[in-house]
């Protein structure tokens, strides 16, 4: 099934009908999405600023990242689930929205990057020192996640 078919199926699903007919469903789900965004962004910021040597330089980046990865995974799950619910109400509009497409591309890139190169860069760090590749990984990560956020805002503004 192509993207359009999948989105239309989502729109016609029980979730889609519930979201479209509910008077306040969209609003509540959007608020959950927003809170998830704050938590996700915070965990990304702290890990990447540690990699850049801006904060918590005396602490192990591996320790910090291990715990904040759990926070990131939980908040990312909340965002994906709430995001699918939002999508079920606005499937058509999102399909045609360049901002939405950019957001999905950047999200995929950010997530893949996070679980591969970013993770490897963290494992190369040592307490108290800041090396080259972790710095690059941090900057790329921050830019990708920022891009996801900005693209998400643009969906409603274009």
Partner 1 sequence: MKVRFALMFAFWIATFVVPAYAHHSFAAEFDINKPVRLTGKVTRVEWTNPHTYFYIDAVDADGKLTNWAIEGPSPGALSRRSWGKDDLKVGDTVVVEGYRAKNGSNTANGRRVTLPDGRRLYGGSPGDGGPGDDGTDQGNLPATSTNK
Partner 2 sequence: MPLLHQFCETLYQSGFGTMLRESNNAFSVIESVHVLAITLLFGTIAVLDLRMLGVILRQISVSSVARGVLPLTWSGLAVSVVSGFLLFWAEAEKMYANPSFRAKLVLLALAAINALVFHRTIYRSAHEWERQHMSPWRARATAIASLALWSGVIIAGRAIAYF
| Binding residues for partner 1 (CB under 8 A) | 19-20, 22-28, 30-32, 35-36, 39, 71, 74-75, 78, 89-97, 156-158
DSSP 7-62: HHHHHTSHHHHHHHH-SSHHHHHHHHHHHHHHHHHHHHHHHHHHHTTSS-TTS-HH
38 binds partner 2 (CB under 8 A): yes
Tokens 């040592």 -> residue: 126
**Number of residues binding to partner 2, judged by CB under 8 A:** 32
Rounded to 5 degrees, φ, ψ at 56 are 50, 35
By CB under 8 A, residue 150 contacts partner 2: yes
Considering only residues 3, 67, 120, 131, which one is a binding residue for partner 2 as defined by CB under 8 A? 67
Q: Which CB, 18 or 34, lies closer to partner 2?
A: 34
User: Which of 71, 81, 105, 136 lies at the binding interface for partner 2 (CB under 8 A)?
Assistant: 71
One residue of 27, 96, 129, 132 binding partner 2 per CB under 8 A? 27
Cβ 74 vs Cβ 49: under 8 Å: no
Minimum distance, C-beta of residue 4 to partner 2, in the bound complex (Å): 28
Count CB neighbours of 103 within 10 A.
22
């Amino acid at each position: 099934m192509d993207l359009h078919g999948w989105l239309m199926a989502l729109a016609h699903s029980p979730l889609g009908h519930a979201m479209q007919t509910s008077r306040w469903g969209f609003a509540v789900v959007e608020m959950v999405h927003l809170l998830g965004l704050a938590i996700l962004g915070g965990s990304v910021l702290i890990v990447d600023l540690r990699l850049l040597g801006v904060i918590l330089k005396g602490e192990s980046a591996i320790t910090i990242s291990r715990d904040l990865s759990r926070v990131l995974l939980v908040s990312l799950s909340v965002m994906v689930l709430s995001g699918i619910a939002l999508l079920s109400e606005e499937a058509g509009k999102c399909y045609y929205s360049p901002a939405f497409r950019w957001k999905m591309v950047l999200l995929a890139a950010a997530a893949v990057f996070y679980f591969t190169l970013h993770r490897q860069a963290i494992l190369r760090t040592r307490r108290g020192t800041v090396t080259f590749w972790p710095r690059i990984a941090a900057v790329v990560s921050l830019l990708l996640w920022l891009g996801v956020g900005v693209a998400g805002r643009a969906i409603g503004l274009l």
